[in-house]
Structure formats: C-alpha cells, structure tokens
Amino acid sequence: MDLKQLLNETLPKDISFSEREQQLVRERVRKKKTPATLKFLPLAALLFIGVIGYALFTSFTESTASPFTSHEEVIVPDTYQSALHWSVYVPETHELIFAKEDGAYSYSIDEKFTEKIANFASLGQFNFVANDKWFVWGDFDNEDYTLNILNRNNRELTVIPSINPIELTLEGNSLFYSNFYTNDHHYYVMDLKSQKSENILLHTSQEFDSMRGHAQDGKAAIMEVFEGIAIVSIYDTLTGKLIQQQSNLPYTSLYNMYVVEDRVYFDFATEEGRLELGYMDIQTGAFQMIETPEYSYSAIHGNYLALSVVDRWGEDTDDVELFTIENNKAVPFSDFPKVKGRLVTPQFAPDGTLQMVEENYFDGGPTIHLIKP
C-alpha cells in the first residue's frame, strides 16, 4: 500500500487537503521513515479526531456511571446475622449500633473497632433505638420493667422504672414510645435532655383490638382498630396537638407504618396474605394506594422505596430492590451492585443511606451494605 492510499483510507472522508498539503505530508513522512502520518495532519484534522474521541469517552462514562452516590460493604467481626438485621447505622459517626444477648455494641467502620456501650439486665433485649447522642432501650430488672436512657456523650445512664416501652422512635433529642405497662395504651413524647419532667401524652385508649404508632419529622401517627373500624390520628410531637384524624382506611389489618415528611405510609395486610402499600396525606387526610410488585417488607425515605420483592420461589428467597414513587407507582430505580447472597431487612438512615444485610456465609460472615442513592 503506497502512502497516498494509506492517507485516503485513514483520514475521514469529509476532510480535504490541497495538493501542496498532501505533498508536504509525503515529504515529511519520507524523511522520518515512519508511518506515523497523523503527527503531521493539519489542525482541522486533529481537532476533528479529538472531538470524536471526547464524544466516545463521554458516552462511555455516562453509560457506565453508578447511579449511587456511595456504596460501602461492612463485615462486623464475630457477629451473627441475627444481631445485624435491626442494627442502626449512625451517619454522623459512621458506626453501626447493634445488640447481642448480653448488651449493646458499637462498631466503628473507619477504625474497624467494636466497643460495648451498654449492659442488659435481661438476655436478648432487642427493643432499642440509637443515634449519635443517645442509646435507649427497654429492659426488665428486679421484677420491674424499665426505660433505660444512655447519654452517649457523658455516658450517664438514667433508669426509669415502671415503663414497658414499645414502638420506640428516636429523632434528635426526642423519644417517642408507648408504655405497655398497664391496661391502658399510652403514647408519649419525651425530651431526653429534661427526660421525665416534660413528657407529652399524645394518645390514650382503653378499648382497642390492635394499635400501632410511629413518629418522625415532628409528627406522630397512631392507628387503632376496634370492632372492625380503623382510626388514624396524627399529632404534632412538639405541642401534642391533634392535627389530623381519619377513619376511611381501605384495610384494617396493618403490618407496618411510617411517617415520612407529609405522608403516613401503611403496609396493609390483605385477607389473601399479601401486603399492599398505601399512604395518607397528612394535610388533606386523603388516601392513595401505590402499585408495587409483591413484597414482604418495605422501607421509605423521601421518594425512595426499598422493597423485599417476593419472587416465584417464595418468601424465603426475597431480595431487596430499590424504586422511586412516581404517580402512585413503584418505578425501578437501578440494580444494586452484584452481591453473592440475597439482600434482606432494608432500612433507611436519617441521611437517606439505605442499609441492608447480605446473607454472605463465605467471606467472613454476613455483610452490611450501605448505599446512598
């Protein structure tokens, strides 16, 4: 192949050269005795090739970029999977708080160090909440139920007797809980800085078949069912004021409930054994159902929805998938990075980090995945 033919086949067809330019290229190449002809192309040709290369690189980068801001895999040493299912990720300190039978532990992800932060009076206490300021749990000691409040900054422990706390929710310095100590079912909000002196009694009921509560974003939702009628009451957790109450729920059997911004989400249990996801607008009281695949557990943060999706093999092979809620429909967001085991027990941290447990029995034990959409 002669030099002219090589140039004709190598350069783009829409670039033309004068006879003088072509002759100049031939002479320089002969002097160098090398086929590196692109070194002597005119500026227009170099610019053209650069633009094409940049476009191809940009297209490849955009097509392969991860839709997630961050993804961490954490293996907590010497810890069973059962202890990690309801562990709490604390983004401010980048740690995991989890409970074993003898007490509560903190695992520093950065330092890879485990520290015991609290002792339990009775074995197997997994009813706890935690953040960077507080660790709170229910216990049973000396034949009495207790509410235990640990200040994580100064390690001061306060034990309040005759409180059997359930449905604990912790937000900043505010603790929401129900006291199941007596026949009455009371819901309270406690300012942990002042503790018992400023409890706010939100709700009480003496006649009910079932009752659930949850608090977040300065609002608490309490659903009670009595003789086939379900009533949802929404309170302002700062003032204790009732701000909404509705009874037109599509179902009365409830599996789970979350307050997220201006909505209350419900995992309703149907008579067919399925879960159906719906929500109530706190301002208007209107209900809407959300179209989802069949699932066994849900977690919600903002517009993101994590579901343990049931596949054709049954509930024991559920796997977590991430969606966004658009027009009252769960729209797939993105596949997670490939993992060896299935992902279970999704939950969102206050900063929006999605926490899941991977059932990994081969690489050092079960793995916590922390993913930020």
- In a domain, residue 221? The reply is no
In a domain, 15, yes or no: yes
315, part of any domain: no
User: What is the Cα–Cα distance from 344 to 211, expressed in whole angstroms?
Assistant: 26
For residue 55, the enclosing domain spans: 3-64
pLDDT tens, the chain, 373 aa long:
544 454 455 555 445 554 444 454 445 544 444 444 444 445 555 455 554 554 444 444 444 456 778 899 999 988 888 899 989 999 999 999 999 888 999 999 999 999 999 999 886 667 899 999 999 999 998 889 999 999 999 999 999 998 889 899 999 999 999 888 776 678 899 999 887 545 777 776 656 667 889 999 999 999 988 888 888 999 999 888 999 999 878 888 889 999 999 999 999 999 888 999 999 999 999 999 999 999 999 999 999 999 999 876 555 678 999 999 999 999 999 877 777 788 999 999 999 999 999 987 666 678 999 999 8
* Tally of domains within the chain: 1
Retrieve residue 169's tokens: 């929710």
Taking the C-alpha atoms of residue 48 and residue 60, their distance in angstroms, rounded to an integer, is: 19
**Distance of alpha carbon 178 from alpha carbon 37, whole angstroms:** 80
Whether residue 287 contacts residue 277, with contact meaning beta carbons closer than 8 Å, is answered with no
- Assigned domain for 28 exists: yes
pTM over 0.85: no
Assigned domain for 35 exists: yes
Instruction: Tell me, yes or no, whether 356 lies in a domain.
Output: no
d(CA 241, CA 325): 30
Residue 224 lies in a domain: no
CA dihedral of 340, 345, 350, 352, whole degrees rounded to 10 = 40
* Amino acid at site 360: N
Residue 121 exposed, middle or buried by CB count within 10 Å (0-12, 13-18, 19+): middle
The answer as to whether 373 is a domain residue is no
Q: Going by C-beta distance under 8 Å and a sequence separation of 6 or more, which residues neighbour residue 142?
A: none
Element (H, E) at 369: strand 367-372
Shortest CA distance to 295 belongs to which of 268, 325, 315? 315
